[in-house]
Each structure stands twice: as structure tokens, then as C-alpha cells.
């Protein structure tokens, strides 16, 4: 749709959610359109501007994996889910026959909100237009209005900045201040909190408002951004990137935004990474070195003495040792071949990149311009290598006990998951495929013995594959069958285990 509209750059700014970005991120990269992450956070204004009601704060270019931002947005989603039934209840009290089940059936359960309820009201003939529903029933101070979850403007700005993004005040021209000084004073307060831009070019801003807002942005050295407020069928007459037809947002706006993002990234926020690691470095230069990619070193010889590749080498050994110890402790019955197989899965490029995202590591990596603009902060290869480098920095700074404690916390859930999955799903399916391919029939399982009291039985089950027979034991029949299948595979394919 964006390509058909002739757009060169795009940001998706859903209200209080980044779920849509996560869905389209891999697809959008295949189109010749520059893409930047976005969100629109519902905010509570400062006390002196309480009369403004809800403020919307845009965030651009932030990390999708920042845990604090994700936690706040998840809370907003939960609050919306609780808010919608209350709106429906009020509409019912006003005499409208509408239910939450109808809304979900019509639009789906994901991200259902007031626009969906209003649209269904129109479809059922309770109002002539989307706007009428809000003007009469669901708008602020109307009979079916329910207050929504909001964070303070200052908290929203900090969340976006801490996630590596640029906070921008959305559609300021729509805010109704009590006097002419209101907007400049309000923007000044937000600038003091870290505001980086104003949405100057907006569908409902006239040219006079745009000129006034551009002047205000220049006064505070703020970015100017633009948005069409495209909502598909929920906002008829508003086209993606074009608004109602007069909206023009130049590519220079996007380039200025990316330059500001690069400027913010050039100021390391190592204390945030220390917070996510739950560790404070004695020598921060070790952590800085761990985050220096060779592409950054090539362009910034004066800022980075060496890249992180030597640290990657050391970190690989430390991760392997710690994860191997965790696996041995978690399942003492595992043999060397099985442990090696499980460890290689956990410390694979994909596995370590997942750990890096959990720490929001990508936003801290120092990359050259080309690598950065090609999405290097979210590439598995770069994330996994940097994770190993950071582990080495932890080891050199705090010793084995310190890094082992951190890795135990990070790998606890993955180790438990892989052991549970491996115990319940792997061997039976593997040997069934093998038997069908080589013998044209499936294995035969038989319960040979049940040992122990009823509350603590051990089962012994045999498996027959052609002329081969093996036996397994377990506390359940399912576990015993898996053990039997594993023992049979040890004989049939010892190299695979």
C-alpha cells in the first residue's frame, strides 16, 4: 500500500502497541521503502495542563526489545481489554444493543478499541458516522466515555529515549490551550524533559498552523515530523501519507529524523545495559570494547582502539562452559553426545541472538553507518557475536562467579524448555521416521513391567524395530517409551546422539 502510494519512508505508529511492527518487520525490509519503528503513547499531561485531557507522544527509531517500554505497552493493552467491556456496558445502559462478542467477531480480538466499537455502532444504524458516535457517546466527558490508562508525558519521553528512540509531541495543533502562551510553555516543559520533536505536518493542521509550529520547533531546536493519521476504513477520506490530499511530508524530514537518531546513538548509555545485566562494571572500557563492531572501528579510529572480535573468542568459551555446567546439573542422566547436542542448540547463533534481544543489546552496539542503516542492530550474526563479547567483558571484569550468575539467570528458562521438549517429543518421532524409511513399518511398543507403589511407579517399556529390541524406563509410560526409543537409536544410529 505504501509503495503504491509512492512513499519513500514509512513509520507505523499504533496507539500504545508495537505488535503491528513485529508482524510486518521482516516483510517491510523486502520493499524499497525506508522503515523506522514507531508508536503513539497515551499520556497524562503535567498538572498545570490537566485540562488538556489526553496527550499523545510519538516515539520513532526505538528498539523493539526494550523491556521497560514493552512492559508499559503490555500494561496499556491489558487496560484496553478491561476498558472495552466498560464502554459496552455504558452503551447498553443507554439502550444500544451491542456486545463485546459482536465487536470481536466483526474485527478480531487483537487490538480492539473504541474505533471498532464506533464502527459497529454505525453498521448497526445507531449513528450516521464514526464522528457522530464520538461526539455524542464515546468522546471525552460523553456518557459512554471510560478513562484510559496513561503514563505521564515525562515518563513517556524517558521511556522512548531509554529505548534509543526520538520522542515527538503528536498533532500539537489539536490541543486546546487557554491562552496564546499555553503551547510554547507546554512545549518548553517537555523540552526540559527531553522532547526531541513536534509533529508539524499533520492531516488536520492547516498551513498557518504548520508555519506556527515549525517556528516553535526552530525556537527549541526540535525536529519537525509528519503523519497522515491513516486508520484505513476507520478514518474515511484520509489516505496513507497524503492525508486529505494537501499533506506533504518531504524526505528531508525523514533524513533529519535519522540524523537525530544517529546523534543520540553516538552518546553511549552503558548504564542502561548494566541495568539489564544487573551488573555494574569496575572497568567500563571493557564493556565499551565489547560493543565496538569492526565496521565502527573502520570509521572511528579515534573513538575505538580495537574491535570486539578477540572478546568474542573468549566469550564463546565462557558461554559454552557455563551452559554445559547448567545442562549437566539439570539432567545428570544425559550422556556426552546428548549434552553436546543440547548445548550447541542453546549457544547457536539464533539462541545467543535471542539472549541479546532479551537484554536489548542491539541498540547499544556501535556500528558503521552502512551496517547501521542496513539493520545491523537486529542481525542474528552481529547480536550473537556481541553477546559473546559482552560475556567476555563480564568475565574479565568480575571473574567466573559473576558471569556464571548472570548466565544462569538468562539461560534458566531456555535450559528448562529444551530439556522438557527433548524429553517429550524428540526420540519417538525420530525413530518412527527411521523405521518407516528403512523397514516400511512403525516401531512396536510394549509395557514389560510396572514397578513400585501406585503413587510412585516406574514403568519399563520395550521397543521393537524389525529385529532390534531395546528397553526403557520412566516415571510415566510416555517417558519410558521415549527412553526406549532413545536407547534403540543409540544402537541404530550412535553418531546421531
Q: Residue 295: which residues within 8 A CB-CB, separation 6 or more?
A: 367, 368, 370, 371, 376
**How many CA atoms lie within 13 Å of 144's alpha carbon, on the beta-carbon side?**
24
C-alpha cell at 217: 520547533
| C-alpha cell, 242 | 497524503
Is residue 472 classed as helix, strand or coil in its secondary structure? strand
**Longest distance between any two alpha carbons in the chain, whole Å:** 92
Of residues 312, 388, 397, 422, which has the active-site annotation? 388
Determine the 3-state secondary structure of 165 from DSSP.
coil
Give the Cα separation of 378 and 12 in Å (integer): 18
Give the start-end residues of each E strand in 117-255. 151-152, 166-169, 197-202, 223-227
- Coil, strand, or helix at residue 32? coil
Catalytic pick among 307, 316, 460, 483: 316
Place of cell 464515546: 138
Annotated catalytic residue 380: no
8 A C-beta contact, residue 194 and residue 157:
yes
The Cα 59–Cα 63 span in angstroms is 10
d(CA 236, CA 133): 15
Query: 388 catalytic, yes or no?
Result: yes
Phi-psi region of 83 (alpha: psi -120 to 50; beta: other; left: phi over 0): alpha
- 3-state secondary structure (DSSP) of residue 166: strand
Rounded Cα gap, residues 130 and 114, in angstroms: 10
Could you give the residue numbers annotated as active site? 316, 388
Amino acid at each position: 500500500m505504501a509503495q503504491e502510494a509512492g512513499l519513500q519512508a514509512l513509520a507505523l505508529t499504533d496507539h500504545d502497541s508495537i505488535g503491528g511492527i513485529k508482524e510486518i518487520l521482516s516483510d517491510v525490509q523486502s520493499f524499497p521503502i525506508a522503515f523506522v519503528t514507531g508508536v503513539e503513547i497515551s499520556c497524562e499531561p503535567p498538572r498545570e495542563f490537566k485540562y488538556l485531557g489526553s496527550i499523545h507522544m510519538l516515539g520513532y527509531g526505538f528498539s523493539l526489545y526494550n523491556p521497560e517500554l514493552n512492559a508499559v505497552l503490555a500494561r496499556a493493552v491489558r487496560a484496553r481489554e478491561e476498558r472495552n467491556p466498560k464502554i459496552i456496558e455504558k452503551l447498553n445502559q443507554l439502550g444500544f444493543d451491542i456486545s463485546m462478542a459482536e465487536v470481536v467477531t466483526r474485527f478480531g480480538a487483537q487490538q480492539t478499541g473504541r474505533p471498532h466499537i464506533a464502527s459497529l455502532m454505525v453498521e448497526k444504524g445507531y449513528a450516521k458516522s464514526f464522528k457522530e458516535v464520538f461526539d455524542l457517546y464515546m468522546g471525552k466527558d460523553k456518557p459512554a466515555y471510560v478513562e484510559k490508562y496513561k503514563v505521564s508525558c515525562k515518563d513517556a519521553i524517558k521511556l522512548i529515549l531509554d529505548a534509543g528512540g526520538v520522542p515527538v509531541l503528536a498533532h500539537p495543533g489539536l490541543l486546546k490551550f487557554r491562552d496564546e502562551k499555553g503551547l510554547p510553555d507546554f512545549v518548553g516543559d517537555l523540552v526540559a524533559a527531553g522532547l526531541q520533536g513536534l509533529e508539524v505536518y499533520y492531516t488536520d493542521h492547516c498551513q498557518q498552523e504548520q508555519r506556527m509550529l515549525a517556528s516553535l520547533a526552530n525556537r527549541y531546536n526540535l525536529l519537525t515530523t509528519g503523519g497522515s493519521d491513516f486508520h484505513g476504513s476507520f478514518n474515511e477520506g484520509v489516505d496513507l501519507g497524503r492525508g486529505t490530499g494537501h499533506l506533504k511530508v518531504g524526505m528531508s524530514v525523514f533524513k533529519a529524523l535519522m540524523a537525530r537518531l544517529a546523534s543520540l546513538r553516538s552518546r553511549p548509555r552503558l548504564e542502561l545495559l548494566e541495568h539489564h545485566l544487573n551488573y555494574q562494571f569496575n572497568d567500563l572500557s571493557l564493556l565499551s570494547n565489547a560493543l565496538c563492531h569492526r565496521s565502527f572501528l573502520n570509521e572511528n579510529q579515534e573513538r575505538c582502539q580495537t574491535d570486539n572480535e578477540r572478546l568474542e573468542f573468549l566469550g564463546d568459551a565462557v558461554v559454552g562452559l557455563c551452559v554445559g555446567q547448567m545442562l549437566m546439573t539439570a539432567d545428570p542422566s544425559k550422556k556426552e553426545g546428548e549434552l553436546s547436542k543440547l548445548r550447541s542448540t542453546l549457544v547457536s547463533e539464533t539462541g545467543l541472538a535471542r539472549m541479546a534481544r532479551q537484554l536489548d543489546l542491539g541498540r547499544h552496539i556501535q556500528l558503521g553507518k552502512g551496517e547501521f542503516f542496513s539493520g545491523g542492530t537486529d542481525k542474528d550474526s552481529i547480536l550473537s557475536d556481541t553477546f559473546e563479547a559482552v560475556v567476555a567483558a563480564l568475565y574479565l571484569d568480575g571473574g567466573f562467579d559473576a558471569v556464571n550468575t548472570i548466565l544462569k539467570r538468562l539461560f534458566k528458562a531456555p535450559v528448562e524448555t529444551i530439556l522438557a521438549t527433548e524429553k517429550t517429543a524428540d526420540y519417538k518421532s525420530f525413530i518412527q521416521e527411521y523405521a518407516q524409511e528403512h523397514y516400511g513399518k512403525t516401531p512396536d511398543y510394549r509395557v514389560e513391567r510396572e514397578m513400585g507403589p501406585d503413587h510412585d511407579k516406574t514403568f519399563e517399556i520395550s521397543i521393537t524395530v524389525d529385529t532390534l529390541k531395546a528397553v526403557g524406563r520412566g516415571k510415566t509410560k510416555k517417558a519410558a517409551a521415549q527412553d526406549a526409543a532413545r536407547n534403540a537409536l543409540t544402537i541404530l544410529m550412535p553418531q546421531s546422539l
